[in-house]
């Protein structure tokens, strides 16, 4: 907005110069060469997630979010350095495999992408992040929650969701408050995400004096949990927590119910999807799960409507966050007037961005400040949000959406007031130009300066 004010001031001064000196200019030649249209600049943005395998539906959802942001930017038209920009998204499949993840990360670096949205899983995001950082390419994950990602101290690495050391306590505390378990079994899939989240849940439970059974493990491809669950059943836990994705969590709860385990089953965000009902049937009813962010239903109407119109389906889980990740990168480029990572990264670090998932600002590590956590329950085959936790306070989803809407409306009203004041200042500046033609540039300069100051003050609010 300050740039707009400077442009206004320069335009007015230029106009004054024309009024004061216009009579001395020679007429332009009758024929003049037409300057060629500026060449379109292609800016590549990368996206990485699992597009094949058991959680391909989540990878595609993430990709769709980023793609929507890119397409909207292209439709709006973006100029950088005086050139029209066409953003091009380069999508890669990391198969949720850390080795493949580093391979495609290097592929994106070699393709000279200007920024990356992804990866989905913490297990692939963490090793890939060092490749992007070394290459000086900013990366924003919309779903990787393991604290290690931003604890590495790597420059240019961000996330727009909360961390597992926030999510774990949130779901554990909800479980304790509502199920009041005395004994809990904790199982994980041995990935950076699943094990890391399970560790945080276990730590919170033990700190509250809850008995936690010896850890049981599977893999991110385990679908036969009978041996593990038979062992768990013998200890008769009141609750079972699983750290892993829905592709493995669905079979786990289904087989648990088949074996007669009556405990409350709880999961993290990777298994907090309607897919759980598809995989487990009626056995999924009543499960508890968490998400390191707001629920999809609480995302901005603009995003929800745009997603449905473009893809013909509703977003699943983290699409609002990958949409915001791409939006943040593009916004920083616009502010820097450059797609050069070295130039836009400092502005990305200082972002204060209103996205589909709310206001986004980063701390010194690259984590989102004051990230929300949401608790869900499976009801009628759908995971339904039942509480949103922000700043240590629990809110109903309805109250949260209402408050968010009021906040956005207030911000919109303030912006309109500022625009109106700036418009009045521009009108006053125009009058100053006319006056200058009669009484001289020197007399008008003070009026122009006053008008520009008013415009600057109005826009700065």
Kindly report the backbone phi and psi dihedral angles of residue 273, in degrees, each rounded to the nearest multiple of 5, phi listed first. -140, 165
Q: What confidence tier does 396 reach under pLDDT thresholds 50, 70, 90?
A: confident
Lowest-pLDDT choice from 31-35, 55-59, 147-151, 331-335: 31-35
Of residues 200 and 405, more confidence is placed in 200
- Which has more confidence, 341 or 39? 341
Give the three-state DSSP class for 146: coil
Fill in the DSSP letter of residue 219: -
User: Is the per-residue pLDDT at 426 higher than 70?
Assistant: no
Q: What is the 3-state secondary structure (H, E, C) of 235-282?
A: CCCCEEEEECCHHHHHHHHHHHHHCCCCCEEEECHHHCCCHHHHHHHH
More confident residue, 223 or 431: 223
pTM of the model: 0.77
CA angle 356, 193, 169 (to 5 degrees): 75
Report domain extents, the chain: 41-162+298-362, 165-291, 397-461
CATH topology of domain 165-291: Rossmann fold (3.40.50)
pLDDT score recorded for residue 393: 79
pLDDT single digits (tens) 9-20: 344 334 333 334
Decide which of 88 and 14 is more confident.
88
CB-CB contact of 43 with 116 (8 Å): no
Q: How far is the CA of 320 from the CAs of 35, 62, 160, 204, 294, in angstroms?
A: 42, 8, 10, 29, 9
pLDDT at position 152 is 97
3-state secondary structure of 53: coil
pLDDT score, position 397: 79
Is pLDDT above 50 for 415?
Answer: no
Q: Residue 293 in 3-state DSSP?
A: coil
Mean pLDDT, rounded, for 140-147 = 97
Q: Return the pLDDT at 401.
A: 76
The mean predicted confidence, pLDDT, of the chain is 86
In the numeric block, the tokens 């892993």 are attached to: 244
pLDDT band for position 98 (cuts 50, 70, 90): very high
Could you give the CA distance from residue 25 to residue 56 in angstroms, rounded to a whole number?
A: 67
- C-alpha 182/C-alpha 201 separation (Å) is 14
Angle at CA of residue 204, ends 198 and 208, nearest 5°? 140
CATH assignment of 41-162+298-362, among 3.40.50.2300, 3.10.105.10, 3.30.497.10, 3.40.109.40: 3.40.50.2300
Please give the Cα distance from 149 to 367 (Å, whole number). 9
3, pLDDT greater than 90: no
- Average pLDDT (205-233) is 97
Q: Is the pLDDT of residue 109 over 70?
A: yes
> Left, alpha or beta for 42 (phi > 0: left; psi -120 to 50: alpha)?
beta
27-41, 92-106, 324-338 — which is least confidently predicted?
27-41
């Amino acid at each position: 907005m300050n740039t707009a004010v400077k442009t206004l001031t320069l335009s007015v001064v230029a106009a004054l110069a024309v009024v004061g000196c216009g009579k001395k200019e020679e007429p332009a030649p009758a024929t003049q060469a037409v300057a060629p249209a500026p060449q379109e600049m292609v800016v590549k943005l990368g996206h990485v997630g699992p597009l094949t395998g058991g959680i391909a539906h989540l990878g595609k959802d993430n990709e769709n979010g980023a793609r929507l942001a890119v397409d909207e930017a292209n439709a709006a038209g973006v100029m950088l350095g005086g050139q029209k920009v066409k953003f091009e998204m380069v999508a890669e499949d990391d198969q949720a495999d850390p080795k493949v993840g580093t391979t495609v990360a290097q592929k994106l670096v070699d393709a000279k992408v200007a920024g990356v949205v992804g990866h989905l899983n913490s297990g692939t995001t963490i090793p890939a992040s060092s490749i992007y950082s070394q290459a000086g390419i900013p990366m924003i994950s919309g779903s990787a929650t393991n604290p290690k990602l931003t604890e590495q101290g790597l420059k240019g690495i961000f996330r727009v969701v909360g961390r597992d050391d926030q999510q774990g306590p949130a779901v554990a505390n909800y479980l304790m408050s509502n199920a009041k378990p005395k004994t809990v079994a904790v199982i994980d899939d041995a990935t950076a995400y699943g094990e890391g989240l399970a560790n945080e849940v276990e730590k919170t439970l033990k700190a509250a004096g809850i008995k936690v059974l010896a850890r049981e493990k599977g893999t991110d491809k385990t679908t036969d949990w009978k041996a593990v669950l038979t062992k768990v059943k013998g200890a008769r836990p009141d609750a079972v927590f699983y750290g892993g994705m829905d592709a493995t969590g669905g079979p786990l709860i289904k087989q648990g119910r088949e074996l007669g385990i009556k405990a409350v089953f709880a999961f993290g965000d990777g298994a907090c999807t309607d897919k759980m009902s598809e995989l487990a049937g009626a056995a999924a009813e009543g499960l508890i799960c968490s998400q390191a962010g707001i629920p999809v239903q609480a995302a901005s109407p603009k995003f929800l409507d745009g997603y449905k119109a473009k893809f013909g389906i509703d977003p699943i889980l983290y699409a609002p966050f990958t949409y915001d990740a791409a939006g943040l990168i593009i916004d920083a480029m616009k502010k820097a007037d450059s797609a050069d990572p070295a130039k836009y990264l400092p502005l990305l670090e200082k972002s204060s961005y209103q996205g589909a998932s709310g206001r986004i600002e980063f701390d010194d590590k690259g984590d989102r400040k004051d990230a929300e956590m949401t608790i869900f329950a499976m009801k009628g085959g759908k995971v339904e949000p039942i509480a949103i936790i922000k700043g240590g306070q629990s809110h109903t989803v309805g109250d949260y959406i209402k408050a968010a809407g009021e906040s956005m409306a207030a911000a919109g009203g303030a912006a309109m007031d500022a625009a109106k004041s700036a418009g009045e200042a521009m009108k006053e500046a125009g009058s100053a130009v006319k006056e200058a033609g009669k009484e001289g540039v020197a007399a008008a300069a003070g009026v122009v300066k006053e008008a520009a100051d008013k415009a600057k003050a109005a826009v700065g609010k």
